[in-house]
Amino acid sequence: MAERIALITGVTGQDGAYLAEYLLSLGYVVHGVKRRSSSFNTARVDHLYQDPHLGNVPFLMHYGDMTDSTNLIRLVQQIRPTEIYNLAAQSHVAVSFESPEYTANADAVGVLRLLEAIRILGMEKDTRFYQASTSELYGLVQEIPQKETTPFYPRSPYGVAKLYGYWITVNYREAYGMFASNGILFNHESPVRGETFVTRKITRGVARIEVGLEETLYLGNLEAKRDWGHAQDYVEGMHMILQADEPDDFVLATGELHSVREMVELAFAEVSREIVWHGKGVEEIGIDARSGKIAVKIDPAYFRPTEVDLLVGDASKARQVLGWKPKRSFIQLVGEMIASDLAEAKRDAAHEQRTL
Ligand code: NDP
Ligand code: GDR
């Protein structure tokens, strides 16, 4: 078989790390793009790293940024990837309201830069392109569940930037015959999910309360409902999307809906704590029945100017065309995240003891 060479932008993120590991297990040579930062930012992929001085190592990293065309062109030229997975993005919806222009630059124009790099180098027929599109494109509910034909109505600068990314990918497929596909992925989580996304914020907060490092978890809208899957299942789906006979756009989702409130209750239940709710709206609090303390409080700072109330996907097309379906359940996911965060919280607590 010809050598399979993948280029992953956003390799230091949650999905990038799982995807790199998965592609390496399939025998790919994997090149990842990381950003220059003043401190180490490769914790999620350090276990994959081998010293390139050893020669012929299958995992290599390069500095780069989605806002720098010259860099992207040079990387594609040097690496000549057979598959590009464009996962790099300012991916936090709430932060996109704070940094809308940067979000548009990285998440919208960044996609164009990478597609243009392929075209400028005349690699349209050599390189398959995956764009990390999102259920945030659906935003304001038009149809339940959401599928490939559901109209888009994004509700944040992030969603709007990703809408451009979606359509420019479709356009380059139609205009230049490129194998360019969108994965429209619903929320997917894991023990290495960024700490400020709500699932990880909850499991990390619960773990820190359990070991006595914190007392209260501050959250925004408890009524938001999402379709939460496991990142490991979703990166396998990304790979399947690029192995299809034809380029196309696919929803990946579990079809199961849970609210933030349910997620909180379940995460506390994992450490045998029951939350009893009192009050309403921003005054609502969650009392830990075991300790009698306030374990959950609402902080309006976490409300978004425009919220996405409910997202639940129908992944029938991916099941039928690609044979993809999620393997891990929501309960398994929360259990795995709590176990990992408990281990981390215990390490932090022990460290605090030693430094007292
Ligand atoms: P993360 O936030 O965990 O990772 C994002 C990655 O992009 C990081 O490696 C980050 O680098 C990198 N990055 C950010 N800005 C730039 C830039 N300007 N140039 C180069 N790299 C950059 O996201 P996920 O892994 O969760 O998501 C991967 C992709 O999938 C994103 O595009 C996201 O929008 C999309 N998506 C995610 C879903 C989810 O539920 N997880 C659902 C649907 C879509 P650094 O580590 O230095 O910050
Ligand atoms: P989302 O994920 O916006 O769906 O984007 P996030 O976990 O940030 O929010 C989910 C829902 O929870 C509500 N919420 C809170 N959210 C955060 N972050 N912090 C809180 O304290 C809090 N309290 C309540 C939010 O309002 C929201 O309704 C994720 C990202 O990974 C995107 O990149 C991706 O495209 C989509 O999922 C699909």
CA distance 281 to 308: 17
Query: Quick one: 161 and 287 in the same domain?
Result: no
Ligand 1 pocket mutation pick from 63, 91, 193 by most atoms within 8 angstroms of CB: 91
In this structure, is residue 99 part of a structural domain? yes
Domain that holds residue 128: 5-189+228-255
- For the beta carbon of residue 153, count every other beta carbon within 10 angstroms: 14
Angstrom CA distances, 146 to 32, 76, 282, 311, 329, stand at 32, 34, 30, 7, 20
Of 276, 262, 270, 261, the closest CA to residue 209 belongs to 270
C-beta of residue 158 within 8 angstroms of C-beta of residue 211 = no
* Mean pLDDT, the chain, integer: 97
In this structure, is residue 323 part of a structural domain? no
- Helix H or strand E encompassing 163: helix 157-176
Angstrom CA distances, 294 to 208, 290, 303, stand at 14, 11, 20
- For 276-286, what is the mean pLDDT? 97
Residue 98 has a pLDDT of: 98
**Closest C-alpha to ligand 2, atom 8:** 197
C-beta of residue 271 within 8 angstroms of C-beta of residue 338 = yes
Angle between helices 330-355 and 198-210 (to 10 degrees): 50
CA distance 275 to 287: 5
Of 26, 76, 25, 65, the closest CA to residue 48 belongs to 25
How confident is the model over 7-26, as pLDDT tens digits?
Answer: 999 999 999 999 999 999 99
3-state secondary structure of 112: helix
Q: CA 242, 77, 124, 167 torsion: positive or negative?
A: positive
Query: Quick one: 203 and 132 in the same domain?
Result: no
Residue 153 has a pLDDT of: 98
Q: What percent of the chain has pLDDT over 90?
A: 96
Greatest Cα pair distance in the chain: 65
Structure tokens at 221: 């809208």
Residue with tokens 């490092």: 213
Query: Quick one: 35 and 180 in the same domain?
Result: yes
pLDDT surpassing 80 at residue 128 = yes
Q: Where does the pLDDT of residue 355 fall: very low under 50, low under 70, confident under 90, or very high at 90 and above?
A: confident
Angstrom CA distances, 275 to 241, 302, 314, 326, stand at 41, 20, 32, 30
How confident is the model over 212-221, as pLDDT tens digits?
Answer: 999 999 999 9
C-beta of residue 202 within 8 angstroms of C-beta of residue 263 = yes
In this structure, is residue 317 part of a structural domain? no
Q: Which residue has the higher pLDDT, 53 or 269?
A: 269
Query: Quick one: 133 and 216 in the same domain?
Result: no
- The torsion region of residue 63 among left (phi > 0), alpha (psi -120 to 50) and beta comes to beta
How confident is the model over 76-122, as pLDDT tens digits?
Answer: 999 999 999 999 999 999 999 999 999 999 999 999 999 999 999 99
Query: Quick one: 40 and 179 in the same domain?
Result: yes
Q: Where does the pLDDT of residue 352 fall: very low under 50, low under 70, confident under 90, or very high at 90 and above?
A: confident
Ligand 2 pocket mutation pick from 187, 227, 230, 312 by most atoms within 8 angstroms of CB: 187
**Closest C-alpha to ligand 2, atom 2:** 197
3-state secondary structure of 292: coil
Report the separation in Å between the CA atom of 119 and the middle of ligand 2, taken as the mean of its atom positions.
Answer: 35
Residue 54 has a pLDDT of: 86
Task: Looking at the CA of residue 194, tell me the nearest atom of ligand 2.
Answer: 31
**Closest C-alpha to ligand 2, atom 1:** 93
In this structure, is residue 305 part of a structural domain? yes
How confident is the model over 233-273, as pLDDT tens digits?
Answer: 999 999 999 999 999 999 999 999 999 999 999 999 999 99
In this structure, is residue 320 part of a structural domain? no
Give the CATH number for residue 232: 3.40.50.720
Query: Quick one: 166 and 202 in the same domain?
Result: no
Query: Quick one: 179 and 73 in the same domain?
Result: yes
Report the separation in Å between the CA atom of 7 and the middle of ligand 2, taken as the mean of its atom positions.
Answer: 27
- Our count of domains for the chain comes to 2
Report the separation in Å between the CA atom of 221 and the middle of ligand 2, taken as the mean of its atom positions.
Answer: 10
Is residue 101 part of the annotated active site? The answer reads: no
In this structure, is residue 314 part of a structural domain? no
Residue 2 has a pLDDT of: 83
CA distance 124 to 114: 12
- For the beta carbon of residue 301, count every other beta carbon within 10 angstroms: 8
Q: Which of 83, 124, 136, 236 is catalytic?
A: 136
Query: Quick one: 305 and 212 in the same domain?
Result: yes
In this structure, is residue 319 part of a structural domain? no
Residue 5 has φ and ψ, to the nearest 5°, of -120, 120
Is residue 158 part of the annotated active site? The answer reads: yes
Report the separation in Å between the CA atom of 157 and the middle of ligand 1, taken as the mean of its atom positions.
Answer: 15
Task: Looking at the CA of residue 231, tell me the nearest atom of ligand 1.
Answer: 41
Structure tokens at 310: 């409910």
Please list, in sequence order, all residues whose beta carbon lies within 8 angstroms of the beta carbon of residue 171, skipping any fewer than 6 positions away. none
C-beta of residue 70 within 8 angstroms of C-beta of residue 48 = no
**Closest C-alpha to ligand 2, atom 38:** 187
Query: Quick one: 207 and 179 in the same domain?
Result: no
Q: Where does the pLDDT of residue 354 fall: very low under 50, low under 70, confident under 90, or very high at 90 and above?
A: confident
Query: Quick one: 51 and 158 in the same domain?
Result: yes
Residue 144 has a pLDDT of: 98
Please list, in sequence order, all residues whose beta carbon lies within 8 angstroms of the beta carbon of residue 34, skipping any fewer than 6 positions away. 11, 12, 41, 42, 61, 62, 63, 64
Is residue 172 part of the annotated active site? The answer reads: no
Query: Quick one: 130 and 205 in the same domain?
Result: no
Residue 17 has a pLDDT of: 98
First to last CA, the chain: 58
Query: Quick one: 154 and 288 in the same domain?
Result: no
Residue 18 has a pLDDT of: 98
In this structure, is residue 273 part of a structural domain? yes
Give the CATH number for residue 284: 3.90.25.10
